[in-house]
Structure 1
Amino acid sequence: MHQSYLLTCPFSPIPNFSFQAHLSESKEAKDYSLPNSTWSPDLMAQYKKYTEMSKDGTWERLPSYRDVLDHLPERVRLEHAQKMNHDRRMFLRNLDEEGKGFEYVMFLNSLENKTISVFQLGPYLEGPPGFAHGGCIAAILDTTFVGCALSFVGQIMTVNLNINYKNPVPLGSVILTESKLDKVEGRKVLFSGQVWSVDGETLHAEATALFIQLASQERSQPPERSK
């Protein structure tokens, strides 16, 4: 099955802002990328695996908060403090009860221009009986592409997300999403990604995406990677 999605960003770009090589850590907000009691053994095993691999600097865990602005450096957060309130939440972090929706952690590999994200899909994400809704997979891919992009090219907006669904994802299962920054052409940013079962045996979905940088940002472009 093949589907195309046109997604847009709900907020305006922050002028004169350049992201660092990683997302900054908020000193006040709760970091939802850390383990909680609902994480399954598979999710914990992957978390421990990539945390261990992060010790030599190859990988880096990206913090995850409910408010978009909490991902930004403190200086920028203070400038836009009036926009921060408890009535607005990121889509994948919108539930109060842990384990019912998306539980996940993202790890960045700066040398390879990619992220590996580990997701556990809760019972509130059902589509077909016993399986996750296809829109959840689209949201996962879009989110991981953006998380990767923020670390390399700054703020972006989704222009096109093309997904080939291969196999449905059982509710409660853990999946691995690999997102790669393939090319930067001016303001155009191109990604590819795949969603796998945690054992690497089942390909659930694969995707390509086109994004546009929202503002001029002074940074060197990552090298084009061969496909």
Structure 2
Amino acid sequence: MEEVKLFGHPLSPFSCRVEIALKLKGIQYDFLLEDLSNKSPLLLQYNPVYKKVPVLLHNGKPILESVLILEYIDETWKTNPILPDDPYEKAMARFWAKFVEEKCLAALSKTIWSTGEQYEKDKAEAGELLKLLENELKGKKFFGGDRIGLVDIVANFIAFWFRALQEAVGLDVLTKDNFPKLWEWAEDYMNCSVIKESLPPKDKLVADFPPPYMGEHLVAYFKSRLASSATTK
């Protein structure tokens, strides 16, 4: 019998990626909740390099880094593929997943923390990247076509985490008016039953963000912005 365990945290978009892939493929797994401010010896044993979640343990062998875990899952369990069979289409899916991972997440995250002129600069930078994603969606429901694929799962931070946080602090980086296709994609993505059951409650996400391990100054800063936003709405 196969042993599948996932070391993760329900508020982590990276852990959520792996849960979504496992659920899409119908794979039974044990979820091992990690305290990210006091990581378990097992997590540190299986991921001594980066010391972070997620870690997928398959028959005693650890697989690290969420995007690599997604590819491993797709190659190991063939049902409901999240990568296309065609070599060119597969390469393009990997390209856009890397674009989201390395470019978009960092640019969008910066807007959460910046204010004033710096916010406008960061918003413009993020907007240029979102335009590229918007264009990639033309003629498609999901980045994977008619069904959820690798890029959609990697971009779950955009669909749920970022939109929830920008709403909480009153940002206007990704809106329905500015990016209608991306907005529609996010709505379709989050309305899928497997996605719904994998996402944390929005109010808990906002209340518990940022996690304590990011540092007291960031936690205090976000809470102050959240409080300020609440008084101006």
Q: TM-score, normalised by structure 2?
A: 0.30
Structure richer in helix, relative to its length: 2
Give the TM-score normalised by the residue count of structure 1: 0.30
Indicate the structure whose relative CO is greater, using CA pairs within 8 Å and at least 6 residues apart: 1
